[in-house]
């Protein structure tokens, strides 16, 4: 045979179709019409209507019991909407209320105020005593040094009080010790007797104003006494000027006389002896 397989099978199908009276073996699938589909579904809907026994869908009563209602007044619908598969869902149109521009503006203002109140930080409870803000140590050092040098030159009491207020802290012990030690350093390095006396008078002034305590003065003096051996190397006259400084503090009752009592330490005793006179 010179024919290919596809052609042979086609010829065979034609021969079989002719022998069968030209009736196709397989029925062609076609789409069902809507009327046919409804006719097929009608028994199912009838069964559902009977099962629900709704008043509007109950089986028809005999002619003798039917009310004399005109046919035109009767409902033309035979299937309830919730049983009809092809009924469109009922939607309720929501009508928005009419709001004027002024009402919208009021609502907007209320929302803005609520948003601002939410974002605004809660007011902190005010303490009974207001605590000054913390100041950097370097700033304290610069402020103290500037105040001491200025007072040594012009002895302006008001300027000192203003500087002390600017350097005020919750705990002023560090500031006060810096003031005493700075006054001592400037007094030992200065060659002017008036400036050295003013440096000591600054400590006296602050003590009289109750801005520094005796404890602060003693701490500042002790700090400089510990560094005095190193200072003497570069400044041999330091013990003498240190003693003069302490003499003013003891004379003005900033330090007690017992503070400069004889000491076993050689350098301390040298300073205290000069202070005792």
Q: What is the pLDDT of residues 75-109, one digit of tens each?
A: 445 555 555 555 555 555 555 566 667 777 777 77
Over 90: is that where the pLDDT of 183 sits? yes
**Residue 163 burial (CB count, 10 A):** 19
**Residue 198 burial (CB count, 10 A):** 21
Q: Which pLDDT band holds residue 265 (cuts at 50, 70, 90)?
A: confident
Q: What is the pLDDT of residues 57-78, one digit of tens each?
A: 455 555 554 555 454 445 445 5
For the four alpha carbons of 242, 243, 248 and 253, in that order, the dihedral sign comes to positive
Mean pLDDT of 145-161: 90
Over 70: is that where the pLDDT of 17 sits? yes
Mean pLDDT estimate for the chain:
79
Mean pLDDT of 229-241: 90
CATH number assigned to the domain with residue range 137-276, chosen from the 4 options 3.90.380.10, 1.25.40.180, 3.40.50.2000, 3.30.365.10: 1.25.40.180
- Distance (Å, rounded) from C-alpha 207 to C-alpha 147? 16
DSSP of the chain, one letter per residue?
A: --S-HHHHHHHHHHHHHHHTTS--SSPPP-PPPHHHHHHHHHHHHHHHHHHHT-GGGSPPPPGGGS----GGGS-S--S-TTT-TTSPPP-PPPPPPP--HHHHHHHHHHHHHHHHHHHSPPPPPPPSSPPPPP--HHHHHHHHHHHHHHHHHH--HHHHHHHHHHT--SS-HHHHHHHHHHHHHHHHH---HHHHHHHHHHHHHHHHTTSS-HHHHHHHHHHHHHHHHHHHHH-TTHHHHHHHHHHHHHHTTSS-GGGG---SSHHHHHHHHHHH-
Query: What pLDDT is recorded for position 237?
Result: 92
Question: In 216-239, which positions are buried (b, 16+ CB within 10 angstroms) versus exposed (e)?
Answer: bbbbbbeebbeebeebbeeeeebb
**Nearby residues of 29 by Cβ (< 8 Å), 6 or more positions away:** none
Going by C-alpha positions, the residue among 185, 186, 198 that lies closest to residue 248 is 198
What percentage of the chain has pLDDT greater than the value 70? 75
Write down the domain spans for the chain.
Answer: 137-276
Q: Which pLDDT band holds residue 268 (cuts at 50, 70, 90)?
A: confident
**Nearby residues of 143 by Cβ (< 8 Å), 6 or more positions away:** 163, 166, 167
Query: What pLDDT is recorded for position 102?
Result: 74
Query: What pLDDT is recorded for position 70?
Result: 52
């Amino acid at each position: 045979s010179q024919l290919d397989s596809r052609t042979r099978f086609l010829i065979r199908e034609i021969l079989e179709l002719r022998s069968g009276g030209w009736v196709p073996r397989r029925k062609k699938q076609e789409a069902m019409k809507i009327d046919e589909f409804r006719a097929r579904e009608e028994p199912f809907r009838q069964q559902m209507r009977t099962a629900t026994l709704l008043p509007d869908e109950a089986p028809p009563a005999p002619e003798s019991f039917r009310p004399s209602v005109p046919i035109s007044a009767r409902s033309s619908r035979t299937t309830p909407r919730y049983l009809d598969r092809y009924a469109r869902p009922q939607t309720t149109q929501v009508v928005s209320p009419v709001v004027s521009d002024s009402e919208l503006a009021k609502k907007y203002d209320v929302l803005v105020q609520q948003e601002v109140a939410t974002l605004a930080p809660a007011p902190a409870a005010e303490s009974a005593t207001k605590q000054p803000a913390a100041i950097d140590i370097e700033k304290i050092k610069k402020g103290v040094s500037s105040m001491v040098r200025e007072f040594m030159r012009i002895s302006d009491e008001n300027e000192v009080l203003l500087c002390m207020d600017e350097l005020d802290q919750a705990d002023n012990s560090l500031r006060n010790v810096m003031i005493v030690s700075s006054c001592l350093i400037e007094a030992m390095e200065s060659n002017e007797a008036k400036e050295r006396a003013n440096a000591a008078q600054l400590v006296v002034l602050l003590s009289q104003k109750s801005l520094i305590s005796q404890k602060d003065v003693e701490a500042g003096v002790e700090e400089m006494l510990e560094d005095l051996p190193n200072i003497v190397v570069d400044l041999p006259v330091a013990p003498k000027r240190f003693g003069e400084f302490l003499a003013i503090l003891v004379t003005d009752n900033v330090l007690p006389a017992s503070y400069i009592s004889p000491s076993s330490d050689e350098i301390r005793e040298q300073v205290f002896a000069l202070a005792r006179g």
